[in-house]
Amino acid sequence: MDRKLAAFERLLRVMDELREKCPWDRKQTFDSLRMNTIEETYELADALLDHDMDNIRKELGDLLLHVVFYAKLGDEQHAFDIADVADGICEKLIFRHPHVFGDTTAADAEQVKQNWEDIKLKEKAANHEKKRVLSGVPRSLPALVKAYRIGEKAAAAGFDWQKREDVWGKVKEEIGELQREIDASDERRTAEEFGDLFFALVNAARLYGVDPEAALEACNRKFIARFTHIEEEAEKQGLALRDMTLEQMDRLWDEAKRQERED
């Protein structure tokens, strides 16, 4: 613990010195750092997907720097400091984990999630905020992640399929509605029905314990690897992609798939 506290104190002192002596750091504001923070969060997400421990450590450091930077800005404006940030999250964690720090019991992780959502609604009531189940979903979340969180919160409030298999009826319904709008050549409604289908599929992923963001990213990477194989093989044959037939590309695609299975 002493080593950890000393390292954190060192970071705070480095931040103080940067803010005082570095022209770039002196110029930064809450607004100017926002997009950098989002970028750093995605870089951490990439490292997590790769299970790259060294990069996870580095990206956590970058993100921690942003937390400390915002706290420094808050301190300068006499609004809050890093101690307020740390104390605030400690108080929240203790309050929202009564099964650890209080007398409440929770049989499993699902019960913990249910208790968490119930407590959050009670907090809003105590603060005289409107009890809106979905009000805690950040507006700036990417649409795929936001859809997952909306489904989670609605499910915690009891709005969910009784059996997870039932979700496929909704998926099929949305596919049918999408096909009708495509056949009707209604572009606006087609886009709307695509959204409904995506939302239903995200809920299906949630019910089957799949992270849809991670699953789609894995698919993206797989496609990139296979398409890159097509490009490389085309170059070896002295061909440009546009000169190849679809059948030639399909053969190389299948070859890439076989190589994946062998690896």
Give the start-to-end residue ranges of the domains of the chain.
2-93, 97-131, 138-210, 214-262
- Looking at every residue in the chain, the average pLDDT score rounds to 91
| Assigned architecture for domain 138-210 | Orthogonal Bundle (1.10)
φ/ψ of residue 247, rounded to 5: -65, -40
The continuous run of DSSP H or E covering 127 comes out as none
Superfamily of domain 2-93: MazG-like (1.10.287.1080)
> Where residue 108 falls among pLDDT bands split at 50, 70, 90?
confident
Q: Do 56 and 44 form a contact (C-beta atoms < 8 A)?
A: yes
> Where residue 151 falls among pLDDT bands split at 50, 70, 90?
very high
Q: Do 71 and 80 form a contact (C-beta atoms < 8 A)?
A: yes
Which pair of structure tokens corresponds to residue 194?
A: 């695509």
Q: Do 71 and 79 form a contact (C-beta atoms < 8 A)?
A: no
Amino acid of residue 255:
E
Structure confidence at residue 54 (pLDDT): 96
pLDDT 10s digits, 42-101: 899 889 988 999 999 999 999 999 999 999 999 999 999 999 999 999 998 998 888 888
φ/ψ of residue 211, rounded to 5: -80, 110
> Where residue 103 falls among pLDDT bands split at 50, 70, 90?
confident
Comparing 2-93 with 138-210, is the CATH topology the same?
A: yes
Which pair of structure tokens corresponds to residue 209?
A: 């314990």
Quote the percentage of the chain above a pLDDT of 70: 96
Distance, in Å, from the CA atom of 34 to the CA atom of 31, rounded to the nearest integer, reads 5
